[in-house]
């Protein structure tokens, strides 16, 4: 499917220059700048993983019941997670992400869904078998979605995905906004840490009980936000100095390999999803347990 | 050649101009130092000379800026970037925020110019070599010391290979070794025909680097002349500019009746020893 290492863009195919001018050593070096890909699943093109996550998520809803979403989790997502070596983390993260929604879904579905089989009563609310069944189906769908998206997140670096989209025609400006937004979080954490250290040096207490920590956080919020805003103009000027506003495409140093087989796999997944949607709309999709 | 003629600039929303009737010319390969007290207008002059004011930040400019004979008035910011670049004091605001490595950070400008991968790589390698940053190529730009970040910011500008470079306090966060390194890189750039305008408080750096010094005060150029003559001018202290160590030492020796030539040899020997130790590597 995918080659072992990411490849530098072949300038001859981008119309930007002469491929022969790039030495083998430089080509190998810039290819090595791509995020590390420790498994075969990591090495798949980001678009292939994104399509898989989308098809699995929507597929869980379209197929419905218990069997469909569980099959997606057991036959597609978990085997891929095992190959990627992230199964444990994926299960933990998915359960954590699903838990808050799961609690509310269970409470709302079990006690408010109309049904004929009452299992037990709590105050004015009847817990019905139909409500339990609906909650169960909703939960497996949610789990399928969270594991599918979680697997994508755990095996795909944001910059790989955005730069792959740019290679496919996404505007560099949009790519920058997407990446800068994603990268802003660690930068903001870093800035907050510096400001917190500075405030602690001046006697601010940010340790101890939850109340003390909350009290300590409030004086940090203003400086973190204001310092971010004051830097915006200089940051935008610095980008313009580096020709950020130049229209047209730009040469990218590396790309994650794609292949005909991956293209075919993506097409197959999308066709299968569209077929399932069509069958569901026309009522010809078999009813699964 | 970069030339400002009769430039008067007023920020958008402000009633008063910050720069008044500025005439400044940078010949190819010339390094000009810009000094003056705080709030004198140095940073604004850097923005105007780079064309970013008013092209990008707005405001009113009367007079003209020409870059190698081309009026800057009609140029877009990315067209300006191919001719003149400006570096700011705070390296953190010059980081793109999207590059995962120092190499990609420096390569961003050439990539934006739409250059080939081979040309981008060549320019990046050259900029890295000029500032001896090869050992940092795979480091996360977010995890650099202040000095390293400043060198990376300057390297990012050098990779654009502009005809004119304007630097606003480029060595503010650098130690003496890093400052010498930047001076060495800028001198070698000037030898290739690049003109440089450097706003700096470190007059020792300018003393060894610039052929000309411009002193600005209250938004007006008050002194413009050869480096040695300007730094020897006793009015400089009154303008809030500290003369370089060479000048101050010469004056102190003269006051004590010692021939400065006797000490000059020792100073030259000390400078040679520092140069022989090398400008150091940003670790």
Mutation site for A-interface testing, chosen from B83, B118, B122, B138 by largest number of A Cβ within 10 Å: B118
pLDDT at residue A1 tops 50: no
Q: Do A179 and B98 touch (CB under 8 A)?
A: yes
B121 contacts in A (CB within 8 Å)?
Answer: 22, 26, 30, 253
Query: Has residue A16 got a pLDDT over 50?
Result: no
Residue of A232, A251, A254, A255 to mutate, interface with B, max B Cβ within 10 Å: A251
CA distance A44 to A257: 8
Confidence of residue B239 (pLDDT cuts 50, 70, 90): confident
- Residue B246: φ, ψ to 5°: -60, -45
Q: What is the mean pLDDT of residues A206-223?
A: 72
DSSP A288: P
Whether chain B has a CB inside 8 Å of the CB on A24: the answer is no
Give residue A114's pLDDT.
80
Whole-angstrom distance, CA of residue B185 vs CA of residue B196? 12
The arithmetic mean of pLDDT across residues A176-194, rounded, is 74
Average pLDDT score over residue span A13-31: 66
Q: Do A178 and A160 contact (CB within 8 A), yes or no?
A: no
Alpha helices for chain A (secondary structure H): 11-14, 24-31, 40-43, 46-63, 67-71, 78-84, 87-112, 129-155, 158-167, 172-201, 210-241, 260-282
User: DSSP letter string over A78-108?
Assistant: HHHHHHHT-HHHHHHHHHHHHHHHHHHHHHH
Q: What is the pLDDT of residues A242-286, one digit of tens each?
A: 888 888 888 888 888 899 999 999 999 999 999 999 999 998 877
Residues in chain B closer than 8 A to A37 (CB atoms): none
For residue A9, what pLDDT is reported? 44
Residues of A in contact with B112 (CB under 8 A): 172, 242-244, 246, 250
Average pLDDT over residues B104-119: 93
In this model, does residue B214 exceed pLDDT 90? yes
pLDDT in the model for residue B151: 92
Which residues lie below 8 Å from residue B215, measured CB to CB, with a gap of 6+? Answer: B35, B36, B221, B222, B223, B224, B230, B236, B239, B241
Q: Note whether B282 and B132 are within 8 A (CB).
A: yes
Please determine, for the modelled complex, whether the ipTM score is greater than 0.90.
no
Average pLDDT over residues A32-59: 94
Confidence (pLDDT) at A284: 85
- Most confidently modeled range among A76-90, B143-157, B241-255: A76-90
- For residues B19 and A21, the model is more confident at B19
Answer for the pair A141, A60: CB distance below 8 angstroms, yes or no: yes
| pLDDT tops 50 at residue A56 | yes
Q: Which of residues 28-87 of A touch B (CB under 8 A)?
A: 30, 33, 35
Tally of CA atoms within 13 A in the half-sphere of B155 that contains its CB: 33
How confident is the model over B31-45, as a mean pLDDT?
94
Q: What 8-state DSSP symbol labels residue B97?
A: S
A11 pLDDT band, cuts 50/70/90, is: very low
* pLDDT the model gives residue B255: 86
pLDDT at A6: 46
Find the closest chain A residue to B84 by CA distance: A241
Q: What is the mean pLDDT of residues B229-252?
A: 88
CB of B1 within 8 A of CB of B28? yes
Considering A108-117, A228-237, B198-207, the range whose residues carry the highest mean pLDDT is B198-207
B119 vs A17, A35, A233: nearest CB: A17
Angle between the B146-158 and B117-130 helix axes, to the nearest 10 degrees? 130
Summarize the confidence of residues A218-245 as an average pLDDT. 78
Of A115, A96, A184, nearest to B142 (Cα)? Answer: A184
Task: Determine, for residues A241 and B120 on separate chains, whether the beta-carbon distance falls below 8 Å.
Answer: no
Mean pLDDT of B26-42: 94
A 246-285 near B (Cβ less than 8 A):
246-253
Write down the pTM of the prediction. 0.78
Contact B3, B72 (CB under 8 A): no
Whether residue A11 and residue B117 make contact (CB cut-off 8 A), yes or no, is: yes
CA A108/CA A196 separation, integer angstroms:
42
Calpha distance B177→B167 (Å, rounded): 18
β-bridge mates for residue B164, sequence order: B84, B195
Q: How many CB atoms lie within 10 A of CB A210?
A: 7
Among the partner-chain residues A180, A240, A246, the one whose CB lies closest to the CB of B114 is A246
Task: Inform me whether the pLDDT recorded for A218 exceeds 90.
Answer: no
Instruction: Test B103 with A33 for CB contact under 8 angstroms.
Output: yes
DSSP letters for A7-50: EE--HHHHTSS-GGGS-HHHHHHHHTTSPP--SHHHHS-HHHHH
* Beta strands B2-10 and A118-122, pairing class: unpaired
How many beta-carbon contacts under 8 Å exist across A and B? Answer: 138
Which of A17, A240, A250 is opposite residue B77, by nearest beta carbon? A240
Cβ atoms of A127 and A114 closer than 8 Å: no
Smallest Cβ–Cβ distance between A246 and the set B78, B85, B97 belongs to B78
Name the pLDDT band for A19 (thresholds 50, 70, 90).
Answer: very low
Residue B247: per-residue pLDDT: 87
Q: For residue B88, give the nearest of A9, A238, A248 by CB distance.
A: A238
pLDDT of residue B210: 95
Report d(CA B84, CA B214) in Å as an integer: 19
Q: Minimum mean pLDDT among A206-215, B59-68, B136-145, B183-192: which range?
A: A206-215
Residues of A in contact with B50 (CB under 8 A): 241
Degrees to nearest 5, angle at CA B202 with B196 and B205: 55
Chain B: residue whose CA lies nearest to A13: B116
Residue, of B216 and A159, whose pLDDT is higher: B216
CA angle A136, A138, A141 (to 5 degrees): 110
The partner residue sitting opposite A190, judged by closest CB among B78, B120, B142, is B142
- pLDDT reading at B18 higher than 70: yes
């Amino acid at each position: 499917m995918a080659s072992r290492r990411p490849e530098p863009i072949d300038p001859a195919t981008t119309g930007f220059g002469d491929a022969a001018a790039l030495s083998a050593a430089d080509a190998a070096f810039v290819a090595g700048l791509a995020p590390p890909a420790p498994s075969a699943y990591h090495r798949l093109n980001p678009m292939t993983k994104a399509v898989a996550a989308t098809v699995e998520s929507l597929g869980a809803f379209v197929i419905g019941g218990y069997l469909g979403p569980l099959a997606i989790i057991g036959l597609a997502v978990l085997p891929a997670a095992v190959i990627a070596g992230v199964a444990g983390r994926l299960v933990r993260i998915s359960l954590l992400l699903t838990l808050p929604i799961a609690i509310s879904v269970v409470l709302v579905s079990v006690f408010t869904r109309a049904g004929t089989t009452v299992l037990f009563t709590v105050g004015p609310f009847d817990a019905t078998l139909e409500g339990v069944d609906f909650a169960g189906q909703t939960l497996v769908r949610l789990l399928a979605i969270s594991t599918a998206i979680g697997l994508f997140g755990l095996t795909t670096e944001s910059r790989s995905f955005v730069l792959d989209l740019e290679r496919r025609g996404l505007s560099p400006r949009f790519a920058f906004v997407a990446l800068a937004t994603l990268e802003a979080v660690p930068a903001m954490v870093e800035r907050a840490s510096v400001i917190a250290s500075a405030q602690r040096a001046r006697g601010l207490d940010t340790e101890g009980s939850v109340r003390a920590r909350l009290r300590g956080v409030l004086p940090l919020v203003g400086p973190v936000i204001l310092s971010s805003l004051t830097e915006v103009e200089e940051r935008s000027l610095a980008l313009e100095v580096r020709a950020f506003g130049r229209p047209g495409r730009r040469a990218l140093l590396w790309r994650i390999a794609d292949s005909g087989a991956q293209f075919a796999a993506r097409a197959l997944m999308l066709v299968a999803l569209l077929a399932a949607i069509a069958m569901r709309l026309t009522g010809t999709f078999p009813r699964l347990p | 050649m970069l030339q400002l003629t009769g430039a008067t600039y007023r920020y958008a929303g402000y009633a008063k101009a910050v720069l008044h009737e500025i005439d400044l010319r940078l010949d190819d390969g010339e390094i000009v130092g810009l000094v003056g007290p705080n709030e004198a207008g140095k940073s604004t002059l850097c923005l105007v000379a780079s064309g970013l004011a008013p092209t990008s930040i707005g405001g009113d400019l009367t007079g003209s800026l020409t870059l190698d004979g081309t009026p800057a008035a009609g140029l877009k910011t990315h067209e300006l970037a191919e001719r003149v670049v400006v570096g700011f004091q705070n390296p953190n605001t010059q980081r793109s925020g999207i590059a995962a490595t120092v190499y990609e950070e420096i390569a961003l400008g050439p990539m934006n110019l739409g250059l080939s991968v081979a040309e981008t790589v060549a320019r990046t390698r050259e900029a890295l070599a000029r500032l001896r940053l090869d050992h940092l190529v795979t480091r996360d730009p977010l995890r650099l010391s202040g000095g390293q970040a400043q060198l990376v910011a300057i390297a990012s500008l050098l990779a654009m290979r502009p005809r004119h470079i304007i630097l606003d306090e480029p060595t503010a966060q650098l130690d003496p070794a890093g400052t010498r390194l930047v001076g060495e890189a800028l001198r070698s750039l000037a030898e290739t025909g690049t003109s440089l305008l450097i706003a700096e408080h470190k007059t020792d750096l300018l003393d060894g680097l610039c052929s000309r010094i411009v002193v600005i005060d209250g938004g007006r150029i008050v002194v413009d002349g050869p480096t040695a003559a300007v730094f020897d001018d006793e009015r400089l202290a009154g303008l809030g500019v500290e003369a370089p160590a060479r000048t101050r030492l010469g004056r102190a020796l003269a006051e004590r009746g010692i021939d400065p030539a006797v000490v000059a040899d020792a100073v030259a020997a000390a400078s040679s020893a520092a140069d022989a130790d090398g400008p150091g590597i940003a670790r």
